[in-house]
């Protein structure tokens, strides 16, 4: 039919008829080509060949495949008492992420993921789900350790990296369960280092990693990995007016995790280095404002403590009233403002380390060297 129509059109006279003949011929050839190799309207189109994945894509996919089985999904429940019946009910509380720490079934997550929970269930990448037991927690670091029974084919622990040599601009990867969407991978950069956030008990969490990798509710407790697939942090918080990712997330650095978690496994709590002094954040704020000195007010010195051996003085009482004792203004030359920041600064050391304290005593500055001991 098409060829006959073509002949009729081409039999037209010269001039405009010949031009029309040429245009119609081109249109018919295009139509025939479409019938032979393309899709008609309403039919599925042919799939174009994709080609090989880029080297960057292959590296990221391999990283996810290696790390996926080490990441777990954590759901929690809490017990509440019905107002009318007074019966105790178990209701869902929330969810978060975690990761396998070792071959003994220890799982690391955030403290705030399991805070207030009466039960925690851990779901593995193979679909298996177990009830976990609480091993230990450190609210000051927002870290907690759970334990599960190892399955027949236990997932491997996340390889550990180091956070002391991280650089702003390097690539990082977060795996977790944002909004309950399990085993989600996001990618970003290290945006900043050595950030601080308020932790539990009036203390601050120091040396946090800031990243623009998407971290949302449910990502908490999941691993932050470097491009080698090593653990460099535990995703713990976001800064967001809306509650969703705004490109500002924070992770507890792995060096802190590797110091705290073994103690949680051994003791059930974290015993940080101490010098044997009494402090109080509220009184400290009043005293330092009154004296116009930034630091930590020593309220009392415990007998037999490193502070007593170094000659530190606490608040004294006389007929005239109370006289302030020493104000600790720096640790090894690094300024401290408040009891929480002082405790976090000592956390950079281990029991037995010697540190230099800068003191303000009755209007004069002095320095003492003190040996840290393990806290209680």
How much is the CA Rg of the chain, to the nearest whole Å? Answer: 32
Pair of tokens at residue 97: 């992420």
One DSSP character per residue, 245-261 reads: --S-EEEEEHHHHHHHH
One DSSP character per residue, 338-374 reads: SHHHHHHHHTTS-TT-EEEEEEEETTEEEEEEEE-EE
Is residue 90 flagged as an active site residue?
no
Tell me which of 75, 106, 112, 204 is the catalytic residue: 112
Q: Are 98 and 148 in contact (CB under 8 A)?
A: no
Location of structure tokens 């690391």:
108
What do you get for the CA distance between the two ends of the chain, in Å? 97
Q: Are 188 and 231 in contact (CB under 8 A)?
A: no
Q: Alpha helix locations (H) across the chain?
A: 2-10, 16-37, 55-67, 111-114, 254-267, 281-291, 306-309, 339-346
Q: Are 139 and 201 in contact (CB under 8 A)?
A: yes
Is residue 112 flagged as an active site residue?
yes
The Cα 153–Cα 333 span in angstroms is 50
Residue 115 CB-density burial (10 A; 0-12 exposed, 13-18 middle, 19+ buried): middle
Q: How many CB atoms lie within 10 A of CB 347?
A: 21
Q: Which residues sit opposite 359 in a β-bridge?
A: 328, 366
Q: Alpha helix locations (H) across 228-355?
A: 254-267, 281-291, 306-309, 339-346
Tell me which of 106, 220, 245, 326 is the catalytic residue: 220
What percent helix, strand, coil does the chain show, rounded to 5? Answer: 25, 35, 40
Is residue 142 flagged as an active site residue?
yes
Tell me which of 106, 141, 142, 207 is the catalytic residue: 142
**Phi-psi sector, 284: left (phi>0), alpha (psi -120 to 50), beta:** alpha
Active site residues: 112, 142, 220
């Amino acid at each position: 039919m098409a060829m006959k129509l073509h002949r009729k059109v081409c039999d037209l006279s010269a001039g405009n008829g010949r031009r029309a003949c040429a245009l119609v011929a081109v249109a018919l050839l295009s139509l025939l080509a479409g019938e032979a190799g393309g899709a008609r309207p309403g039919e599925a189109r042919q799939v174009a060949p994709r080609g090989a994945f880029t080297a960057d894509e292959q590296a990221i996919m391999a990283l996810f495949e290696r790390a996926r089985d080490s990441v777990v999904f954590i759901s929690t429940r809490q017990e509440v008492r019905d107002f009318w019946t007074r019966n105790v009910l178990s209701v869902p509380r929330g969810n978060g992420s975690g990761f396998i720490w070792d071959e003994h079934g220890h799982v690391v997550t955030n403290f705030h993921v399991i805070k207030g929970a009466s039960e925690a269930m851990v779901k593995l990448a193979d679909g298996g789900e177990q009830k976990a037991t609480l091993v230990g927690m450190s609210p000051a670091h927002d870290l907690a350790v759970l334990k599960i029974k190892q399955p027949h084919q236990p997932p491997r622990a996340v390889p550990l990296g180091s956070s002391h040599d991280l650089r702003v601009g390097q690539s990082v990867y977060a795996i977790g369960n944002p909004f309950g969407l399990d085993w989600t991978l996001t990618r970003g950069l290290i945006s900043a280092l050595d950030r601080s956030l308020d932790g539990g008990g009036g203390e601050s969490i120091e040396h946090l990693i800031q990243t623009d990798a998407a971290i949302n509710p449910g990502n908490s407790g999941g691993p932050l990995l470097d491009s080698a697939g090593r653990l460099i942090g535990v995703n713990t918080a976001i800064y967001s007016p809306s509650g969703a990712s705004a490109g500002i997330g924070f992770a507890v650095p792995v060096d802190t995790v590797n110091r705290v978690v073994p103690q949680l496994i051994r003791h059930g709590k974290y015993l940080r280095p101490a010098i044997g002094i009494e402090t109080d954040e509220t009184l400290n704020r009043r005293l330092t404002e009154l004296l116009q000195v930034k630091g930590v007010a020593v309220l009392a010195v415990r007998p037999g403590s490193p502070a007593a051996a170094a000659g530190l003085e606490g608040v004294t009482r006389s007929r005239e009233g109370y006289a302030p004792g020493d104000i600790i203004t720096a640790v090894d030359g690094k300024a401290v403002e408040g009891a929480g920041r002082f405790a976090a600064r000592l956390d950079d050391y281990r029991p037995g380390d010697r540190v230099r304290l800068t003191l303000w005593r009755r209007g004069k500055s002095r320095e003492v060297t003190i040996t840290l001991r393990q806290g209680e």
